[in-house]
């Protein structure tokens, strides 16, 4: 399916979703208010990119006089900084950046929605020739992980599950490009990595998962917004989150077309995306239910327990309903 056809198919889905939403809410409450401009932060390779390409969010918001602007970020922490500075109004990040924000310099960031938990799409991996079969086999060895990432929490939980402490290994804090080189040179014994990089090293260099997120405490990704924006403009957040869920459901049902699209967006080969999409966690929802708040609270508690954040935080205090 070509990109224009992919966009048209998404457009038909979104039009149906919008008409059904209007039918349900027609008789309800007073008309919602909207900002003149809506600024969204995104990273390559997720459903925000597909929604951006479709143009359907712009169409849905045009009757309300809203202009949508998109800003690309390399990873989560700079996006949280932009949210805190008031430079963007919505972002999508892993579990850890909002915890650091709440405990540090950006306490006014709010959770407005969430994506499904990581499964086998995030893992601690070892080289194919490694003798390691469990985390204990990494005792005293270097493990590459991005500092402050969802992978850092995954690694802490993987250690705990095997009765280990952080001091039992050597944390090698490396960004993904550096970590890949270190992993291939044998400078580190293991690497904590998500898809599509995980699928890439599995297919191309035979890396082997030692433990995946599906075997550990659940960990989610989140849609976050500045507190003042979330309080003032809940309607635009509802529309956007609903459109994102529609996008994910369509992408799930049309995986090959999605892989082709993401190949163009990221320059990651389609065969890698095809593997990654088979284990992608799908779905966007709001507000955060108690079990999601509890799972994210465990992230915060773990980071505080290991003195990785300066103070304890309560996730429920930063979670808001935009319904």
CB 222 within 8 A of CB 99: no
Q: In a 3-state reduction of DSSP, which class is residue 291?
A: helix
Q: What is the pLDDT of residues 165-186, one digit of tens each?
A: 999 999 999 998 899 999 999 9
Please, is 76 exposed, middle or buried when counting C-beta atoms within 10 Å of its C-beta (0-12, 13-18, 19+)? Answer: buried
What percent of the chain has a predicted confidence (pLDDT) above 70? 90
Sorting pLDDT into bands at 50, 70 and 90, what band is 49? very high
Q: What is the pLDDT of residues 25-37, one digit of tens each?
A: 444 445 689 999 9
Sorting pLDDT into bands at 50, 70 and 90, what band is 323? confident
Sorting pLDDT into bands at 50, 70 and 90, what band is 305? very high
Sorting pLDDT into bands at 50, 70 and 90, what band is 160? very high
Average pLDDT over residues 101-111: 92
Higher pLDDT, 281 or 232: 232
Average pLDDT over residues 38-49: 94
- pLDDT for 256: 96
Q: In a 3-state reduction of DSSP, which class is residue 278?
A: helix
- pLDDT for 76: 85
- Say whether pTM exceeds 0.95: no
- pLDDT for 8: 53
Sorting pLDDT into bands at 50, 70 and 90, what band is 105? confident
Higher pLDDT, 235 or 26: 235
Whether 43 has a pLDDT exceeding 60, the answer reads: yes
Whether 7 has a pLDDT exceeding 60, the answer reads: no
Domains and CATH numbers, the chain: 3-117+219-318 (3.40.190.10), 122-215 (3.40.190.10)
Q: What is the pLDDT of residues 51-72, one digit of tens each?
A: 999 999 999 999 999 999 999 9
* Euclidean distance between CA atoms 171 and 302, whole angstroms: 16
Phi, psi of 194 (to 5 degrees): -100, 170
- pLDDT for 26: 40
Other Cβ atoms less than 10 A from the Cβ of 293: the count is 18
What does pLDDT average to over the chain? 91
Q: Are strands 37-42 and 190-194 parallel, antiparallel or unpaired?
A: unpaired
């Amino acid at each position: 399916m070509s990109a224009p056809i992919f966009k048209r198919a998404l457009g038909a889905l979104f039009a149906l979703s919008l008409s059904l939403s209007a039918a349900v809410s027609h008789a309800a409450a007073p008309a919602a208010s909207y900002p003149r401009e809506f600024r969204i932060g995104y990273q390559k390779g997720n459903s925000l990119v597909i929604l951006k390409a479709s143009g359907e969010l712009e169409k849905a918001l045009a009757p309300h006089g809203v202009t949508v602007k998109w800003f690309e970020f390399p990873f989560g922490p700079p996006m949280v900084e932009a949210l805190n500075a008031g430079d963007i109004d919505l972002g999508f990040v892993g579990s850890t950046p909002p915890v650091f924000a709440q405990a540090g310099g950006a306490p006014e960031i709010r959770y407005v929605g969430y994506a499904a938990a990581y499964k086998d799409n995030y893992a601690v991996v070892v080289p194919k020739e490694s003798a390691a079969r469990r985390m204990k086999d990494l005792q005293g060895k270097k493990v590459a992980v991005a500092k402050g990432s969802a992978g850092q929490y995954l690694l802490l939980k993987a250690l705990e599950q095997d009765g280990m402490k952080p001091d039992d290994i050597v944390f090698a804090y490396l960004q993904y490009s550096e970590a890949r080189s270190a992993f291939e040179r044998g400078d580190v014994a293991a690497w904590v990595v998500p898809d599509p990089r995980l699928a890439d090293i599995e297919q191309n260099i035979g890396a082997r998962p030692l433990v995946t997120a599906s075997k550990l405490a659940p960990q989610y990704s989140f849609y976050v917004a500045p507190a003042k924006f979330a309080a003032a403009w809940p309607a635009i957040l509802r529309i956007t989150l609903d459109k994102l869920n529609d996008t994910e459901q369509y992408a799930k049902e049309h995986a090959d077309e999605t892989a082709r699209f993401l190949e163009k967006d990221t320059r990651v080969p389609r065969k890698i995306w095809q593997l990654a999409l088979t284990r992608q966690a799908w779905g966007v929802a709001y507000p955060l239910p108690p079990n999601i708040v509890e799972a994210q609270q465990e992230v915060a508690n773990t980071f505080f327990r290991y003195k990785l954040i300066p103070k304890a935080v309560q996730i429920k205090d930063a979670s808001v309903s935009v319904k």
